[in-house]
Structure 1
Amino acid sequence: MVTRCTIGVDIGTSSSKGVLVDEDGRVLASSTVAHTVDRPRTGWVEMDGELWWTEFVRLTAQLLTAAAAEAPEVVGVGVSGMGPCVLLADEDGRPVRPAILYGVDTRAATQVDRMTAEIGEAEIVRVGGSRLSSQAAAPKIRWVADEEPDTYSRARRLFMPASWLAHRLTGAYVLDHQSASQTSPLYDVDAGCWHDGLWQRYAAGIEQPELRWAGEVAGEVTAAAAAETGIPVGTPVIAGTIDAWTEAVSVGAHGDGDLMLMYGTTMFLIATGSRTLRTPSMWTTVGAFAGTRNLAGGLATSGALTDWIKDLTASDYTSLVAEAERSGIGARGLVMLPYFSGERTPILDPDARGVVAGLTLGHARGDLYRAALEATAFGVRHNVETMRAAGADIRRIVAVGGGTQARLWLQIVSDVTDLVQEVPSVTIGASYGAAFLAAGATSAIPRIDRWNPVDVVIRPDPAARAAYDALYALYLELYPATRDIAHALAARERDRALTPQETS
């Protein structure tokens, strides 16, 4: 007896993940392939787009092999990926250069400033919903045109990881509305379509992708793709969307009043409502589904920061967590700024840098680790307070992502923010959400609360609130107090990185 199922694959910053899920939401198989990004210069973060397809093929083979005893019949494919990214390709869909990643890549600061001056900030916000920052895709398209004109002259198509996988599977050239809304100011968030005038001005020569919603079918698996993946010819493939939004789908956190916290390499927050909210320091986008609007934000480092401390101290997470618990609230007198890759929201400062204040010879690695966990929690609180000030009605918080396995981290975030967090039973994240969207596109729409019910509720400890309020106030003071020094150091590093070989 065969088991009808869907495949979900997500291309992330540090790994690609795949799941095979049956019609009841049961995970038949899961697999992960680790990878690294390329950082050829300070502020540059890239990946080879062909790697995304190679890993998709590898994951699919692993999933189908692992679940062979279930006799899986794949009836739909869901795709997802980090973003917004800029993968430019020629008319045949071949990449003309490595993909430029989302807000962690800060190379296009000059283009951000120039486009803002040319268009005007008010008009950019009116059309695209948000000010331009390192998160926006359009300035990165312009960077390629300005800095690599020969490469840009061969570019005809724009992809992101999900749309790239959909293209390789089906031949379709589509982009979902949510991802499109992060190409600001090329997409009109209120009209729900491309802005032709700004597209021709800043993405001339590139064909506009056809727009779809995340769960809509982009096309069907071709014979060539079937031969590579083992997925049957004609299987529907959804358009997919950016991983954070797919993660929200995976836990049902896309309703009016919901806030999703994604614990991953970076931290991402998505507040959902029915109204378009605009505020200078957050990202206004359309939602994964028609009729929804989002106010979103993100920390440039979270899991990446804890990984860095683990590697730097040659330790392991079990030891670090135990030592951080013993360190206690305030990490024995430390306050950290988690801006080790610049910062996205709400300060929108690619030249921000990490700071550890209060260090003494008496501090140990567990104190540093505790300070890092608290720093990301302070960053979450800063974002939540900014969202609420803009009018976001946040009534339900759902945590998702690999970091939810770290219960100390979850507790610290709840204590710092005074928020109750729901943790679902399945925290695989975006790949699971992609499989759910594929199931909805190919049969009767399932209910995510049946697929993935709440498993754990994290409640804030009232006894911790006063101490964390005081530490949060110091956190807010630390950035403006060190900003000028951080900017000067960032400028020195850029100058040092421009070697004669790079500038020739």
Structure 2
Amino acid sequence: MDLLLGIDMGTGSTKGVLVDTAGVVLASASIPHSMSLPRPGWAEVDAEGIWWREVCEISTRLVGDVPSGSTVAGMCVSGVGPCLVLCDDDLTPLRPAILYGVDTRATAEIRDLTEEFGAEEILERAGTLLSSQAVGPKLEWVRRHEPEVFGRATGWYGSNSFITAKLTGEYAIDHHTASQCDPLYGTRTFGWNEDWAKRICGHLPLPRLVWPQDVVGYVHAEAAAQTGVPLGTPVVAGTVDAYAEAFSVGVRTPGDQMLMYGSTMFLVQIIEEYHSDPALWTTAGVERGSLALAAGTSTAGTMIGWLRTITGGATFEEVTAEASAVPAGCEGLIALPYLAGERTPVFDPGARGLFAGLTLRHGRGHLFRAAYEGIGFGIRQILEMFDDAHTGRRTVAVGGGLRSPLWAQTVSDITGRPQLVAEQGIGASYGGALMAAIGVELVAPQTDWATITHEITPNPDHRALYDELYGMWRESYPATRDLMHGLGRLDR
């Protein structure tokens, strides 16, 4: 029996699955980890000590679960992104990986590159304005602030392309990840913006471009010894975790949307024709020649975890029960969930969290429900922008945050949109296994392993209240932006 190995390096853990060609999961494994926050605005991971080590451990475990007579026919690794890993010729990282949009250190570089290339030209050629999500400014930051590191580097990678290189020795990056390396990549043309890429990357060569389902190379002897994966196993490129997760639940047709409930919220919508919006990310998709819109918040589950910590460490079940007992609208309390700045659509690393309307009548349950509602209002704001490109046909909810029925129900009530939930909720690693199966031609390219089990429907009784509160919520950020920035200067 041919089996596929899918691994995903997420923000809070690395997960892996062993799957057959029908999509049946034979074994799974997970290792928790955390990111490093060494300075305000910085978010990093030890690419060798966490990502590669955990991929090796999980691969070894899962290969040990392969039944007698079966073989690992292909593997695929996805990961958080877009990230920046700078390595030498031996694929040794020269500094910790700089993470996606939650790392906001490159504010000056975003400004300067935007002035140098022009905002309108960047939007036209790259499809997305520069923000903390973009890799180009992160490269520029290292060049300016750590010139010795930049000078010693011989290649640059995302999270999954770093692992692919460790497995195969190949220097390649998938089109989707590349399309989030603004302004290096041209989303209209599915190729590098050669002049801008050479200006920013300097002596660093540009990786070979491949599609997420393409076989990049084969597991070499050293990687086989460390991971337990058989020598010569085909390795499929993979991509950023959110897109692998969308792929895992069948979000593949124009109008399909994914809401990923996790440490942050991430949204993907497949589109039929090229469309750019300065408040969104226009990207290449997973399948060859496809396009998508994306958006992401800087906090979501992390805000819920933070609240649990500062309010006494109650269990998840306890705070969920308390929040569920609070009526919709939290009796006049709203929250801006900008505790780590915000990505889409305000793109403001200096934004801060806010609870507005607090009184002595409000308790812990109100704070948690207000947090969920604040996240939901942000999702509504993004989905309304998605509709300008292509009206959403169906919305699929995924991610660990679905453990809280209140969270997903609140989002449906606020947005007015039903959400579909798939039977298999493992996520990006499962999507990676499907990409591997397609890449090594064990299943047809159109194969979809997702089975929808139920639907979360909006409660119409809450719509009028949430419409009113949404208007107030949208006013709260512009009304307090200058105050937030002033407080941020004091923090620095």
Which TM bucket (shorter chain)? Answer: over 0.9
Equivalent in 12, 35, 39 of residue 14 of structure 1 = 12
SS of residue matched to 2:409: helix
Name the residue aligned to 2:325: 326
| Alpha carbons of structure 1 residues 405 and 36: separation in structure 2 relative to 1, 3 Å | same
Name the residue aligned to 1:237: 235
- Aligned sequence identity (%): 45
Deviations 1:449-496 (A, max 9, x none): 7622001111111111011111111110111111111111112212xx
Structure 2 CA distance for aligned equivalents of residues 333 and 118 of structure 1: 46
Q: CA deviation at 1:24?
A: 1.1
- Unmatched segments (≥5 aa) in structure 2: none
Q: CA deviation at 1:68?
A: 4.9
SS of residue matched to 1:268: strand
Question: Superposition pairs for residues 84-233 of structure 1, below 5 Å?
Answer: 84-233=82-231
Equivalent in 397, 402, 424 of residue 404 of structure 1 = 402
Question: Do the aligned partners of 1:274 and 1:291 also contact (CA within 8 Å) in 2?
Answer: no
Question: Do the aligned partners of 2:280 and 2:294 also contact (CA within 8 Å) in 1?
Answer: yes
Equivalent in 4, 11, 18 of residue 2 of structure 2 = 4
Question: Do the aligned partners of 1:250 and 1:448 also contact (CA within 8 Å) in 2?
Answer: no
Q: CA deviation at 1:330?
A: 1.1
Deviations 1:338-367 (A, max 9, x none): 101100011111111000011122222111
Q: CA deviation at 1:30?
A: 1.2
Structure 2 CA distance for aligned equivalents of residues 295 and 12 of structure 1: 21
Q: CA deviation at 1:444?
A: 3.5
Q: CA deviation at 1:255?
A: 1.2
Question: Superposition pairs for residues 382-401 of structure 1, below 5 Å?
Answer: 382-389=381-388, 391-401=389-399
Q: CA deviation at 1:226?
A: 0.9
SS of residue matched to 2:75: strand
Name the residue aligned to 1:497: none
SS of residue matched to 2:325: helix
Range that drifts further, 244-253 or 287-296: 287-296
Structure 2 CA distance for aligned equivalents of residues 479 and 452 of structure 1: 38
Deviations 1:42-84 (A, max 9, x none): 000011110211000111122234x355764211101100100
Equivalent position amino acid for 2:148 in 1:
D
Q: CA deviation at 1:28?
A: 1.0
Structure 1 CA distance for aligned equivalents of residues 180 and 221 of structure 2: 32
Alignment pair present for 1:266 and 2:241: no
Q: CA deviation at 1:158?
A: 1.0
Structure 2 CA distance for aligned equivalents of residues 202 and 291 of structure 1: 26
Range that drifts further, 286-295 or 351-360: 286-295
Structure 2 CA distance for aligned equivalents of residues 64 and 369 of structure 1: 41
Structure 1 CA distance for aligned equivalents of residues 416 and 445 of structure 2: 29
Equivalent pairs counted in the alignment come to: 490
Structure 1 CA distance for aligned equivalents of residues 305 and 335 of structure 2: 16
Deviations 1:102-161 (A, max 9, x none): 000000000000001111011111111011011110000000000111111011211111
Equivalent position amino acid for 1:210 in 2:
R
Question: Do the aligned partners of 1:252 and 1:448 also contact (CA within 8 Å) in 2?
Answer: no
Name the residue aligned to 2:300: 302
Equivalent position amino acid for 1:318 in 2:
E
Moved over 3 A (4+): 68-72, 446-450
| Alpha carbons of structure 1 residues 419 and 447: separation in structure 2 relative to 1, 3 Å | farther
- TM-score w.r.t. structure 1 length? 0.95
Equivalent in 6, 23, 26 of residue 24 of structure 2 = 26
| Alpha carbons of structure 1 residues 264 and 71: separation in structure 2 relative to 1, 3 Å | farther
Q: RMSD value over aligned CA atoms? A: 1.3
Q: CA deviation at 1:274?
A: 2.2
| Alpha carbons of structure 1 residues 339 and 71: separation in structure 2 relative to 1, 3 Å | farther
Structure 1 CA distance for aligned equivalents of residues 403 and 71 of structure 2: 31
Equivalent position amino acid for 2:345 in 1:
P
SS of residue matched to 2:395: strand
- TM-score w.r.t. structure 2 length? 0.97
Name the residue aligned to 1:501: none
Question: Do the aligned partners of 2:212 and 2:287 also contact (CA within 8 Å) in 1?
Answer: yes
- Unmatched segments (≥5 aa) in structure 1: 495-504
Structure 2 CA distance for aligned equivalents of residues 70 and 478 of structure 1: 60
Question: Superposition pairs for residues 13-92 of structure 1, below 5 Å?
Answer: 13-50=11-48, 51-65=50-64, 67-68=65-66, 72-92=70-90
Name the residue aligned to 1:354: 353
| Alpha carbons of structure 1 residues 449 and 411: separation in structure 2 relative to 1, 3 Å | farther
Question: Do the aligned partners of 1:81 and 1:162 also contact (CA within 8 Å) in 2?
Answer: yes
Name the residue aligned to 1:316: 315
SS of residue matched to 2:160: helix
Question: Superposition pairs for residues 249-260 of structure 1, below 5 Å?
Answer: 249-260=247-258
